[in-house]
């Protein structure tokens, strides 16, 4: 399914979209579940249940919040996750498509549920900061909705929603894009299965190769 417009601005999600941290996330969550004597997840079962709000997702995997808060869970997760994130890699094809957009002078941004300071650090670590005009994370570690920060991004950089595209890997990214009034493309190599992503009724691509081909097809028809 092709993308039907030439987007002047591209807003990228980070975790699972640009960076392949799926295995690390599953290992980190399973460490949490093991501590709480709850059943662990496979990669497939994680991709079937993960979503936003994150607190609801934790409830789906058995966390009751009777003796701990979402802040406790976030801190516990980061204790397992944060130190290993630098060992992850970008998805195959990410650099090529970032370079392609840059050569076409499309404006590029990052919008993530990761805490702002950590997000900036990781974007720099992976060597991709040069591609982005703005990097927008959250002010805290609780990984909740990105809609408010997305609106800050749109306003702060004077982005016209009618010529903008959000690329993400979850149904929440689709919800964020809908709230911002921008086009949406989803990649099925991240934190949710292709089957779940297709329920959003937005274009879904199995890889960055497919996504790149969709842009080329669009450009040839403009």
For the stretch 165-219, pLDDT in tens is 999 999 999 999 999 999 999 999 999 999 999 999 999 999 988 998 887 765 5
Identify the CATH homologous superfamily for domain 9-20+89-220.
HAD superfamily/HAD-like (3.40.50.1000)
| Segments making up each domain of the chain, as ranges | 9-20+89-220, 22-87
Query: What are the φ/ψ torsions at residue 109 (nearest 5 degrees)?
Result: -140, 160
- Of the pLDDT bands very low, low, confident and very high (cuts 50, 70, 90), residue 1 is very low
Q: How many CA atoms lie within 13 A of 188 on its CB side?
A: 16
pLDDT, position 3: 53
Average pLDDT over residues 93-111: 95
Measuring CA to CA, how many Å separate 186 from each of 8, 123, 164? Answer: 18, 20, 14
Its pTM stands at: 0.92
pLDDT reported for residue 7: 82
pLDDT tens column, 115-128: 999 999 999 999 99
């Amino acid at each position: 399914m092709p993308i039907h417009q030439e987007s002047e601005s591209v807003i990228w999600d980070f975790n699972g979209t640009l960076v392949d941290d799926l295995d690390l996330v599953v290992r980190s969550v399973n460490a949490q579940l093991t501590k709480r004597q709850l059943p662990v997840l496979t990669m497939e079962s994680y991709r079937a249940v993960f979503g936003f709000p994150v607190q609801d997702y934790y409830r789906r995997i058995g966390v009751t919040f009777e003796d701990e808060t979402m802040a406790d869970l976030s801190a516990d997760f980061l204790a397992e996750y944060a130190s290993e994130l630098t060992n992850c890699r970008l998805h195959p094809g990410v650099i090529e498509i970032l370079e392609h957009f840059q050569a076409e002078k499309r404006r590029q941004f990052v919008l993530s549920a990761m805490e702002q300071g950590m997000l900036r650090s990781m974007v720099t670590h992976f060597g991709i900061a040069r591609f982005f005009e703005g990097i927008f994370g959250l002010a805290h570690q609780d990984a909740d909705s990105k809609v408010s920060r997305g609106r800050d991004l749109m306003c702060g950089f004077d982005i016209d929603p009618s010529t903008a595209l959000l690329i993400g890997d979850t149904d929440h990214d689709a919800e964020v894009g809908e709230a911002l009034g921008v086009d949406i493309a989803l990649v099925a190599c991240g934190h949710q299965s292709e089957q779940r992503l297709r329920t959003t009724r937005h274009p879904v691509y199995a890889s960055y190769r497919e996504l790149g081909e969709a842009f080329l097809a669009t450009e040839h028809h403009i």
